[in-house]
Amino acid sequence: MAKRYTHKIFYMFQKEVLSSMQCGSMLKLVKDVQVHIVKRLGDLANFCEVSFDPSNQEIICSCKKFENEGIPCSHIIVVLRNNCIDCLPENLILKRWTTTAKSMTVHDDDGVELQAHGTSGKSNDRKNIEIVRGFVECLNDAPVEVCNVAKDMLVDLQKMASHSAGGSNNSPHCRSTSVPSIVNAHPPSISKTEGSGKRLMGENEIAMEEMSKRRTCSVCGKKDKHNARTCPKLKEMSSQNTQADPIPFNETQASNIN
């Protein structure tokens, strides 16, 4: 399986194989179909029922992992091992998980294989094949839900192709619009959120704004980091006043000195 599955899918399948080593099964027959009760060792409360038809190797598990993810679950691997089947049946190998999914052939509605011819008259066939191959490549690792959406898109494309082939322009996908001669482009509305409409200021602008916020000193009349009490000019004025006015000296003090 390492040569058939892609690397990612093979590692996922390998986990299921290792998980199957920790499971046991109990067989019961319902007509010609085998019904296996598969339980994990140590967990007797939870179990899955796997029905297996040996005639056509059709196998279905109640956990629905293969239907959802496209990979055989550990319960199916246990039943295949009990029936001595070493290789997975072809009905358990999805084409999109294999390494040859990119080289698959493309058929038309009548089941005829499309060939990419080198002539100029068949250039559209080559383009269509390349588009389909790219579409399949995108779906290689896609889940089942995405594949179902792709099927719906394919149905819509077929309807569009049938309308265009019939020359009908009434399809909602083929509406024609006229290009206006003048296009008026209006400026966007100004946002009212906090911080909108402001730009980053430079260092000089920030310094000027801080200077404008400072108070004017009433002594020196400058806008600096001081007020009237801490003004350096006030200190200079006080020192000048002390030097200009000497201490008074009376006659009694002079007589005492003598």
Amino acid 168: pLDDT? 47
Which residues pair with residue 83 across a beta bridge?
none
Nearest to 141 by CA among 9, 15, 5, 11: 9
Instruction: Tell how far CA 93 is from the center of its chain.
Output: 29
Which stretches of the chain score pLDDT less than 50? 117-121, 168-173, 253-254, 257-258
Give the Cβ contact number of residue 13 at 10 Å: 19
Amino acid 120: pLDDT? 41
pTM assigned to the model: 0.41
Amino acid 119: pLDDT? 43
Give the integer Cα–Cα distance in Å for 206 and 214. 13
Amino acid 61: pLDDT? 92
Total residue length of the chain: 258
Give the integer Cα–Cα distance in Å for 69 and 11. 14
Is the CB of residue 129 less than 8 Å from the CB of residue 102? no
Instruction: Give tens-digit pLDDT for 151-176.
Output: 788 888 878 877 765 554 444 445 55
Amino acid 75: pLDDT? 92
Amino acid 153: pLDDT? 82
The secondary structure of 95-138, three-state, reads HHHECCCCCCCCECCCCCECCCCCCHHHHHHHHHHHHHHHHHHH
Is the CB of residue 71 less than 8 Å from the CB of residue 9? yes
Strand bridging mode 43-53 / 58-61:
antiparallel
Give the integer Cα–Cα distance in Å for 36 and 75. 9
H/E stretch holding 178: none
Give the Cβ contact number of residue 109 at 10 Å: 6
Write the DSSP string, 187-252: PPPPP-STTTT-----HHHHHHHHHHHSPBPTTT--BSS--SSS-HHHHHHHHHHHHHSPPP--HH
